[in-house]
Structure 1
Amino acid sequence: MALKEMIVQGATCKCNFGTTPDKLKVLTQSKYYLNDHEGKSKLAATHKDIGATFEKNTFGSCKKMNNNPCTAIVTAWSGYYDKVLYDPPKGYILTEDSKATCPVGGKDCITIMKSGQVAEPSKQNFKNADEELQSHILPVVNMKNFEKKEPYNHLKTD
């Protein structure tokens, strides 16, 4: 599982036959969180998250149903990481490569666009950052002055 992101609540998914994406909702457990230090919003998604498990439960118009409204239902997941089991619900963690099956669209028609995880850098991350590398990535921020009230002072011209 080299460098694969694990999926959390809020992951953006799309169907090959739909017109709009929808966000995944974790309904099978409320105990395991990923990259969420307060444990409030990033529930880990598992292969047991089946049924009507999206926020809107629709991917817009469905090409398989003559462009009638989609009703998103997941019957199974494939491509999950079977080395991590969350109990309950006895579910294996989903990764960015996982795909879902819909009774209308067929096997693996629903894919994951974004994992739902968002980087939240801390002050310590900035303290540990390589100053020279950051000067190339963020040329307008002087990392030496970052903790000061005016980190952009070096840009002022008198």
Structure 2
Amino acid sequence: MSEKHLVCQGATCKCNFGTTPDTLKVKTQSKRYINDKDGKKKLTATHKDIGKTFEKNTFGNCSKMNNNPCQAVVTEWSGYYEKITIEDNKGHVLLEDSKATCPVGAKDCIEIIDHGQVCEVTAQNLKNADPNVLAELCPFFDFLAEEDENVHDEYYVSL
């Protein structure tokens, strides 16, 4: 089985019948964060996030409605991960290949095109990384492990 990312607030979704994407907004819980070291932005999305759960609540013009403005409403999600349940809303987490149903469009007409997680490199990541691997990934930088008492074992980048 290949790895799949969990979906969080900020994920980009699109409808097969719409003209523009919209951004997922988690409204069913406010405590469970992923991919957010400060725990302030990336709420975990679940199959309970239904209704008007997007920032703009529109995917542009809807071809099913003669190109009139879309009124994005999710009635259900499919393809979620049933082995993880968020206690706050009893919802199962969404995966990057989960799909949503709109009453105007069709079953599974809304898909996730970006799961919303982003890479946040911190000083701790650099401290835990192998300097040889960093040198291979970034050959223009010299990653040196300083053992000076004033430096506190941090890695420095020198040009």
What TM-score, normalized to structure 1?
Answer: 0.87
Alpha-carbon distance, 1:10 to partner: 0.7
Aligned to 1:55: 55
Q: How does 1:4-153 map to 2 (within 5 A)?
A: 4-144=4-144, 147-148=155-156, 151-152=158-159
Contact 2:126/2:155, CA 8 A, preserved across alignment: no
Larger displacement relative to structure 2 (93-102 or 1-10): 1-10
AA partner of residue 143 (structure 2): M
The Cα shift of 1:73 comes to 0.4
CA distance in 1, matches of 2:121, 2:113: 22
CA distance in 2, matches of 1:40, 1:7: 15
The Cα RMSD (Å) is 1.8
Report if the CA contact (8 A) 2:12-2:21 is conserved: yes
Specify the SS of the correspondent of 2:124: helix
Query: Which has the larger displacement, 102-111 or 36-45?
Result: 36-45
Residues 43-91 of structure 1, C-alpha deviations (whole Å, 9 max, x = no match): 1111010000000000111111121111110000000000111122111
Deviation readout 1:2-23 (Å, 9 max, x if unpaired): 5211111111111111111110
In 2, Cα distance between equivalents of 1:147 and 1:129? 10
1:155 aligned residue = none
Q: Offset of 1:119 from its aligned partner?
A: 1.2
Q: Which residue number in structure 1 is paired with residue 150 of structure 2?
A: none
The amino acid across from 1:32 in the alignment is R
Measured in 2, the distance between the counterparts of 1:12 and 1:100 equals: 13
- Structure 1 spans left out of the alignment, 5+ residues: 153-158
Partner Cα distance (1:36, 1:52) in 2: 24
Residues matched between the structures, number: 151
